[in-house]
Amino acid sequence: MRFYCLYEELYEGVDLRIEQLKSACKKQNIEFFALNSLTQDYTNLPKLTKSDLLYNCARGSQTLESILLNHTVTTFYRKNPMFNQTYSSTDWSILHEKANLLAPKTIFHLTTDRNLLTKYVDYLGGFPIIIKATGGTRGFGTLKIETWQNLISTVDYLAGTNDKFIMREFIKAKNGCRLMVLGNEVIAGADFEMNKEDFRNAIDLSQVKYKARIYPEHVNKTAIQATHLANVELGGVDFLEDEDENFYLLEVNFPTGFSGLIDVCSVDIPYKMVEFLKNKADGKN
């Protein structure tokens, strides 16, 4: 049995993620191969079967994953796509809204039309509001808009870019929450304090401090449902919790970081990930 771990660039935390998955494979007598999509020989790619485990562990390498995907290879997808469709967490939020999962109110299309903007701000509960780039990650491309003048000058500028944006209700949160979903359960979860200097909590991952927590059952169920709606069995699911203990689903991250929760939650997450795929390949899941 072989585990093929795909990546494209070693941005913060990816090298550690790869080493932890490699170690988990070694413990379970599974061969490990890390394939860098930027240096891979595309004339000599493996033909993957059900006994092969495939995971694109970081952003990028979608083309390589698309080439390697087939109906039989074992993945974290609930149903293997024929290619990586590069859906963003924002796209999945549309599915979450259709399923009536509790989330911040969202307008999935940015406009410069002043009449529509007025209506949208009212719908979102007034200022401040959030504007978020659909392809952004770790808070980059997320803007907090405080006033009408700020809004119109911002949307006029953004309309001239090639990016897509959403408008979202601003939630005044007392803390953020990260739940790790694997299969039909939440295997780890932790709160993190809101950044007092910057509402974007993931800009500097080294400053994120987690505290392990067991969440209410309805939050766990929401996290699992949200992950499955994204057609995956693995997800780092983010929520905000307000002062009244209401939870708001923000997004499902896949691929997802997990290293920061291992020690905090006393859960060997990479081992469980590899074990899950191994059992799935053996028909035990």
By C-alpha distance, which of 222, 224, 252, 248 is closest to 237? 252
213 token code pair: 């927590």
Last residue of one domain, picked from the residues 169, 192, 218? 169
Strand partners of residue 253: 236
How many Cα atoms occupy the beta-carbon half-sphere of 163 within 13 Å?
A: 18
- Find, among 103, 75, 100, the residue nearest to 89 by Cα: 103
pLDDT of residue 205: 54
Residue at 122 is within a domain: yes
Please provide residue 136's backbone torsions phi and psi, each rounded to the nearest 5 degrees. Answer: -75, 160
Q: Is residue 98 part of a domain?
A: no
Do residue 156 and residue 179 come from a single domain? no
121: domain CATH number?
Answer: 3.30.1490.20
Backbone angles phi, psi at 256, to 5 degrees: -140, 150
pLDDT of the chain, 285 residues: tens digit per residue: 999 999 998 778 899 999 999 999 999 999 999 999 999 999 999 999 999 999 999 988 999 999 999 999 999 999 999 988 766 788 899 999 999 999 999 999 999 999 999 999 999 999 999 999 987 665 578 999 999 999 999 999 999 998 999 999 999 999 999 999 999 999 999 999 877 666 665 545 556 789 999 999 999 999 999 999 999 999 999 999 999 999 999 999 999 999 999 999 999 999 999 999 999 999 987
CA dihedral 282, 25, 78, 11 (to 10 degrees): -170
**What's the sign of the alpha-carbon dihedral 85, 90, 91, 92?**
positive
Is 157 in the same domain as 205?
A: no
Q: Which domain holds residue 111?
A: 105-169
Q: How many other CB atoms are there within 10 angstroms of residue 9's CB atom?
A: 12
- Of 139, 154, 169, the last residue of a domain is 169
- Residue written as token pair 């809204």: 97
Same domain for 152 and 185, yes or no, is no
Separation of alpha carbons 175 and 178, rounded Å: 10
Within a domain: residue 91? no
In this structure, is residue 82 part of a structural domain? no
Domain shared by 180 and 210, yes or no? yes
- Whole-structure pTM value: 0.93
Q: How far apart are CA 240 and CA 176, in angstroms?
A: 5
- CA pair distance 78, 205, nearest whole angstrom: 29
Residues 177 and 275 in one domain: yes
Contacts of 115 (CB under 8 A, 6+ apart): none
Question: Does 250 map to a domain?
Answer: yes
Q: Residue 202 in contact with residue 210, Cβ under 8 Å?
A: no
Of the residues 19, 47, 68, the one at which a domain ends: 68
Phi-psi bin for 80: left (phi > 0), alpha (psi -120 to 50), beta? Answer: beta
For the beta carbon of residue 39, count every other beta carbon within 10 angstroms: 7
Phi, psi for residue 32 in degrees, rounded to 5: -120, 135
Number of domains composing the chain: 3
Inside any domain, residue 77: no
In the block, residue with structure tokens 């796209």: 91
Q: Where are the beta strands (DSSP E) in the chain?
A: 2-7, 31-36, 52-56, 106-107, 129-133, 142-145, 165-169, 173-182, 185-193, 210-212, 234-242, 247-253
Same domain, 146 and 195: no
143 and 178 part of one domain: no
Q: Is residue 198 part of a domain?
A: yes
Q: Are residues 138 and 194 in the same domain?
A: no
**Do 49 and 28 fall within a single domain?**
yes
Task: Looking at the structure, tell me whether residues 191 and 244 fall in a common domain.
Answer: yes
Structure tokens at 158: 């953004």
Q: So what's the pLDDT on residue 119?
A: 98
Task: Pick the closest to residue 104 from 89, 116, 118 (CA basis).
Answer: 89
* 154 and 178 inside one domain: no
The CATH code of the domain that includes 232 is: 3.30.470.20
Q: Are residues 194 and 260 in the same domain?
A: yes
* Domain assignment of residue 47, yes or no: yes
Q: Please give the structure tokens belonging to residue 273.
A: 């990930």
pLDDT tens, position by position, 239-283: 999 999 999 999 999 999 999 999 999 999 999 999 999 999 999
